Amino acid sequence: MKVLVVGGGGREHALVWKLRQSPRVTEVYCAPGNAGIAREATCVNISPEDIPSLMAFAREKAINLTVVGPEAPLAAGIVDEFQSAGLKIFGPSRAAAEVEGSKVFSKEIMAKYGIPTAGYAVFTDSAEASAYIQKTGVPCVLKADGLAAGKGVIIANDMETALDAVRSIMVDRDFGEAGARLVVEECLTGEEVSILAFTDGDTVVPMVSSQDHKRALDNDEGPNTGGMGAYAPVPVYTPEVARRAMEEILIPMVRALKAEGRTYRGVIYAGLMVAGGEPKVLEFNVRFGDPEAQPVLSLLETDLVDIIEAVLENRLDRIEIKWKPQASICVVLASGGYPAAYRKGKVIYGLGEEPEDIMVFHAGTAEKDGKVVTSGGRVLGVTATGPDISEAIDKAYAAVGKIKFDGMHYRRDIGRKALDRVQ
């Protein structure tokens, strides 16, 4: 079987790595890939959003299965286009992907079908949004309606930050057309959990729970990023919380989308806030999380190709999905300045020196003059698995200590919340 993975970040490196483990896979291509992926797959210089070129490549190479990593091509309808051309592809349709492509649509669906989430209001006028915030007060959460690469969410704890965010999103359009509409939400408190699940539109099978670390600095301080690390599983996600999340959130959302004529097939991701044993939805995403995919896929025992085919053939209820009874952690090494402006082209030292049981997933890397250099904000995801979270943390940070590049920064507290709960 020939497989094409669309994307070029840490999530896609994890997908390539896991797909290559299937005895049924003979060749893996990745578009566009990166310097790390190039060691495990054939990289093809095609943008994830260049759907016609991706389709032409899939036809030319007789690709048997395409797996889409990032959200932008899904929201643009890559699945619809591939399917209409008779090409097998894993991911939700354009209509189903709107649950991530539009924050407004997502909130409206949750409100209509009674799925627990934060209270909210929607604005198309910046003055009205500002007046509403001044009336209702802070803290609040401001979200650009459209896709913003994980950065279109601002948590405002004071009025100045909130009003600046309105200006940034709606007036200055720092996130482009994503800011044409603004969602203002109540600020939920508790502990965040990411729940990814496979679904064929009828059956929903959750993966092991994980927790992203979105803030740039230790102790959840600094600006929001695309994610500075993750671990799995999450102690606060108890069996009772998991039951409620399935019965009140994941299954109802999949059923709601089907009722709306938007049958969902692929990976659905619920970002939850858990407080007092009660889960509420922060956001829905329509693909594997990044960096959650790295620790989650590290714990997956079942052949990913078998799972994908069960989803595509609407028989997810007839496959058993197994997980390692262990813990896994991913620590993201980022470029200096990220998530704001950062420089590229810094030589990365120490790669290849990590133990065999450590995976260094490449995210923003390229090859130049025979050396691996930085080419993005999030550069590497150092991922370790152990019998428990304590050992996984120790192994990951020991491996981090062997890697260096100019300006490198990372959080030193990935997994600490889990450790505190376990202890």
| Per-residue pLDDT tens digits of the chain, which is 423 residues long | 999 999 999 999 999 999 999 999 999 999 999 999 999 999 999 999 999 999 999 999 999 999 999 999 999 999 999 999 999 999 999 999 999 999 999 999 999 999 999 999 999 999 999 999 999 999 999 999 998 876 788 999 999 999 999 999 999 999 999 999 999 999 999 999 999 999 999 999 999 999 999 999 999 999 889 999 999 999 999 999 999 999 999 999 999 999 999 999 999 999 999 999 999 999 999 999 999 999 999 999 999 999 999 999 999 999 999 999 999 999 999 999 999 999 999 999 999 888 888 999 999 999 999 999 999 999 999 999 999 999 999 999 999 999 999 999 999 999 999 999 887
Yes or no: say if 279 and 116 are a contact pair by the CB < 8 Å rule: yes
Strands 358-362 and 378-386: antiparallel
b/e burial code for range 39-55 (CB count within 10 A of at least 16 → b): ebbebbebebebbeebb
- Of 188, 46, 171, 63, nearest in space to 117 by CA: 188
> What's the pLDDT score for residue 423?
78
Yes or no: say if 200 and 316 are a contact pair by the CB < 8 Å rule: yes
The helix (H) or strand (E) run that includes residue 395 is: helix 389-400
* Domains (range + CATH), the chain: 2-91 (3.40.50.20), 119-186 (3.30.1490.20), 191-318 (3.30.470.20), 327-422 (3.90.600.10)
Calculated CA dihedral for residues 171, 172, 177, 181, nearest 10 degrees? -30
Yes or no: say if 297 and 187 are a contact pair by the CB < 8 Å rule: no
